[in-house]
Structure 1
């Protein structure tokens, strides 16, 4: 598994990465993620396609070292994490988080924040197993905010 920059050459293949239909209410598509990144440059979006060999299997987007404000959590916020429906259950989600944690820790991060839409089938169990804990906050969109203490991760 490797994180790959999205280019004109691989953009369509990355956009074709789709979560299971039952998960679509919990995570925006890659195409929507690109739009959100371009509409919110102040969020300092950093995104990568996730490849296994020559096949795109996922996508990740992080707000990278931004100055937190009323509308933006950070400095490091896991904005999107998705694994293609056909590739789920193979450990890619954990591997992606492991690599993101390694990269942001190397950049000086001590915490990674994320959020999720609550509901049946939401990603909360995955994040909690990884070590994220609820902060007690609910954001303006009704999402539960979680934090991962990077000093507690090996």
Structure 2
């Protein structure tokens, strides 16, 4: 199945429904909640957080957050960094993660970006195999939290 999604701005009208989207409990050590993502965004305005709810029709199925065209510095990767990618537990395995990344890549390429960075906690259940399957490759770096840094060359994506 090829998931059809829309990236939607988060407003007072949809905030509660988006916050209710949660990963499987076993994944919580790898992916912070939407609510925690909002906190991170508020606490780090220098990261230029850009976030959207992910909808399939009228149903929120996920959440994505990036640092958008930020200046890299201590503890801040960029200029484009995939900070959070979350697909709700009941919606996983349907192609939403790949669809979200395809949409993000299209937006970034339209903005003139050439690469997208992300990081992930290594270990059993980590999203690293998913990211690598999409085309991200390890940079050989590890951040201050012990997360592996991955890079996607946007020129390699259609």
The Cα offsets for residues 98-139 of structure 1, whole Å up to 9 and x where unpaired, read as 000000111110000000001110001100000000000000
Query: Could you say what secondary structure the match of 1:104 adopts?
Result: helix
Find the counterpart in structure 2 of residue 31 from structure 1: 35
CA distance in 2, matches of 1:28, 1:59: 11
1:98 to 102, 113, 116: 102
Which whole-Å CA distance do the structure 2 matches of 1:52 and 1:91 have between them? 11
State the SS of the aligned residue for 1:71: coil
- 1:85 aligned partner: 89
Q: Secondary structure at 2:123's aligned position in 1?
A: coil
Aligned with 1:80: secondary structure? strand
Mapped to 1, the partners of 2:79 and 2:107 lie a distance apart of 14
- Within-5 A mapping of 1:4-153: 4-153=8-157
Give the distance between the partners of 2:47 and 2:124, measured in 1 at CA. 29
Aligned pairs, how many?
154
Give the distance between the partners of 2:109 and 2:67, measured in 1 at CA: 14
Q: Distance in 2 between matches of 1:71 and 1:86?
A: 33
**Over aligned residues, Cα RMSD in angstroms?**
0.4
CA deviation profile, 1:39-85 (whole Å, cap 9, x unmatched): 10000000000000110000000000001111100000000000000
In the alignment, structure 2 segments of 5+ residues that lack a partner are none
The CA distance in 2 between the partners of 1:105 and 1:87, in whole Å, is 27
Distance 1:125 1:77 in 2: 18
TM-score, scaled to structure 1: 0.99
